[in-house]
Amino acid sequence: MHEAIKTRGILSDAEAIGAAAAPKGLKAVLRQFEELWFLLRVEFANVRDSWVWSVVMVSLFPLIVVFFLKFFMLDPSEEVMSRIITGNMVFPIIIMAINTLAQELSVAKHAGHFVFYASLPISKINFIVAKLISGFLMTLPSVLIMAVLGQLVFGITLHFSPLIIPVIILSIGSCVGFGIMMGFLSINEQMTSLLSQLIMMILSFMTPVMVPMSNLPLALQYLSYAFPTTYVADAFRTLFSTGWESNVGTDMLALAGFFVLTVILLIWKMDWRVER
């Protein structure tokens, strides 16, 4: 026992000497990873007991829409079926990444929960990254579930390729960033709840998620370009139907722009505390 304690003491001293001898740049990087790991553990602890239920609930709405359209439409073309499936793959992103996340963060902000994080020696960027990763992991299962179940319901096979992976990452990441920004910049919980519900309905049924852009009124066509889900739906439709085309690259650039812009706005405008 004494030898074990002594050995541990020697190892601890050696680790301390090694840490002291490490370059300042490396120490700063390691500290950032430690902060991020701590925040991720907090995020995962918060959803550990409810993530399955959350995935099921988020997947229910698009699944019901798929079955409704299956019963409602008689002998749809393969192009229409593909549009329905890919459009419903966007629904979980809208529900979880934009609607649910925005409301949760707004409630936490105005309840003063972030004062706890303000008391810790952590950076805002790590907190934002932890929220982005958590939101991404909570949204991804429902997107994949809809990709599988949509094919089974309509009896068609979508086109899959490795290029879908970066598109899905950018798609969820940009929308999660949009939802986080709504939550942190909210005026109050009630306004955020109403606004997120309204945006969810607009994005789902009044932008080219389920319908072609040309079928929308001109005003809604212009409005659609202000939301990342327009580019998500377009990229999904093209990739899952025919594979890579030039418009997918344009969509990815737009989604990357949304992601960078939301992160910059969050770092600039995010405040840990709320004035009472």
User: What is the per-residue pLDDT across 35-52, written as a single tens digit (0 to 9) for each?
Assistant: 888 888 888 887 777 788
* Alpha carbons 157 and 149: distance in angstroms, whole number: 11
| Crossing angle for the helix pair 189-205 and 164-184, to the nearest 10 degrees | 150
Q: How far apart are the first and last CA of the chain?
A: 55
Eight-class DSSP state of 273: S
In a domain, 33, yes or no: no
> In whole angstroms, what is the distance from residue 166 CA to residue 170 CA?
6
Structure token digits, residue 87: 């459009």
Is position 138 within any domain?
yes
CB atoms within 10 A of CB 137: 16
Give the count of domains, the chain: 1
pTM for this entry: 0.80
In a domain, 211, yes or no: yes
pLDDT at 30 over 60: yes
Is residue 25, in this structure, part of any structural domain at all? Answer: no
Which range has the worst mean pLDDT, 26-35, 128-137, 215-224?
26-35
Asked if the structure places residue 29 within a domain, the reply is no
- 113 band by pLDDT with thresholds 50, 70 and 90: confident
pLDDT at 119 over 60: yes
Q: Are 44 and 134 in contact (CB under 8 A)?
A: yes
Residue 273 is predicted with a pLDDT of: 54
Average pLDDT over residues 4-29: 49
270 and 184 Cβ atoms separated by less than 8 Å:
yes
19 has a pLDDT exceeding 60: no
DSSP string of 81-121, one letter each residue? HHHHHHHHHHHHIIIIIIIIHHHHHHHHHHTTTHHHHHTSS
Q: Is residue 239 part of a domain?
A: yes
40 falls within a domain: no
pLDDT exceeds 50 at position 159: yes
Percent of the chain clearing pLDDT 70 (strictly above): 89
Please give the average per-residue pLDDT across 75-93, as a whole number: 87
Whether 77 maps to a domain, the answer reads yes
| Average pLDDT taken over every residue of the chain | 81
Instruction: Find the domain containing 67 and state its range.
Output: 50-269
